[in-house]
Amino acid sequence: MKTDLKPFPEPLGTHDRSTNNLIRRYRALKKESMNPLGLNDQQLQKMKTQPGFVAALDQSGGSTPKALAAYGIKQGAWSNEDEMFAIVHQMRTRIITSPRFTGDRILAAILFENTMDRDIQEQPTADYLWNVKQIIPFLKVDKGLAEEKNGVQLMKPMPQLSTLLKRAKAKRIFGTKMRSVINQADAAGIKQIVNQQFEVVVQILAAGLVPIIEPEVDIRCPEKARAEEFLKSAMLEKLDKLPDAQQVLLKLTLPEEDDFYADCVGHPKVVRVLALSGGYSRDEANSRLCRNHNVVASFSRALVEGLSAQQSDTEFNTLLDATIRSVFDASTVKQPSAK
């Protein structure tokens, strides 16, 4: 059957039903051909190609009191968890709505579930990020870490993951993030970490979301470089087995050897490699990052370092701008590696 459709000058409704259906089909095809990329494609293209970095604003219940204390709000300022999350949402809202926090330098923001479920300026947080700031929304989906075994901490079970992924998709979240931790250079334990991450990846991709895999190597790991060797080998093996149409992001601790993850950066199944600050100061994290080519930041604590509830808006925005500029520069202006 020939599918090349000719223009129809007559208005819809002056023909029989089959001709009207053909006109509708022609107009739909014409509109589709003139449309820009769909939302997910726009966001994926931005994630792949635009200079910038990812803001990690995903502190969960366990880490929130520490984040609020660093922001100048002591633990007695709330009487229950709901009040605590309301306060931390105020902090995140102040960051996100800052005129310095824009999609020109920030590619994406990783949100905690509670933040996804709240609004910013009368829009759902994910919609505000994209519609107002042109920043891609991601969601933290793990439920924390299990006890250490074989030198690693796997993710706790996620029995409600399927429901959460459906909610995330309905709220126009682009992708997800899940974190495990490597404390020792134990090859078997590290393989368990990678296996678990990629098992969950299958479910996330099937839900139409793009996963960030975060197997963090603790910067205090006694044989950190060796742990990184085990990790890279295990990840590359899994990446090679992903179907062609499936892609992921990797979020990794800044390595001991500059450009150590170059094989991951260049892998066809990897959208982008992100670096976590992992306890390094912002200056140290930036120094390491700028020597790792085509790797961009995904900082949490290092991004908000120095920000305070007691600062005026001018002081707050000035410091946030300086921080964003330094992290953006370390993500985009690279120095020769120390090899």
Q: From the CA atom positions of the chain, what is the Rg in Å?
A: 22
Enumerate residues 6+ apart whose C-beta is below 8 A from 125.
96, 111, 115, 116, 118, 119, 137
- Rounded distance, CA 95 to CA 313, Å? 10
DSSP, collapsed to helix, strand or coil, labels residue 232 as helix
Cα torsion through 258, 49, 207, 171, rounded to 10: 110
Among 314, 244, 282, smallest CA distance to 99 is for 314
Enzyme catalytic residues: 214, 251
Return the ∠ at Cα 290 (arms to 102 and 319), rounded to 5°: 40
Counted residue by residue, the chain has a size of: 339
Residue 275 contacts residue 289 (beta carbons within 8 Å): yes
DSSP character for 310? T
Residue 135 contacts residue 142 (beta carbons within 8 Å): no
Among 73, 66, 108, 113, smallest CA distance to 90 is for 73
Centre a 10 Å sphere on the Cβ of residue 90 and count the other Cβ atoms it contains: 12
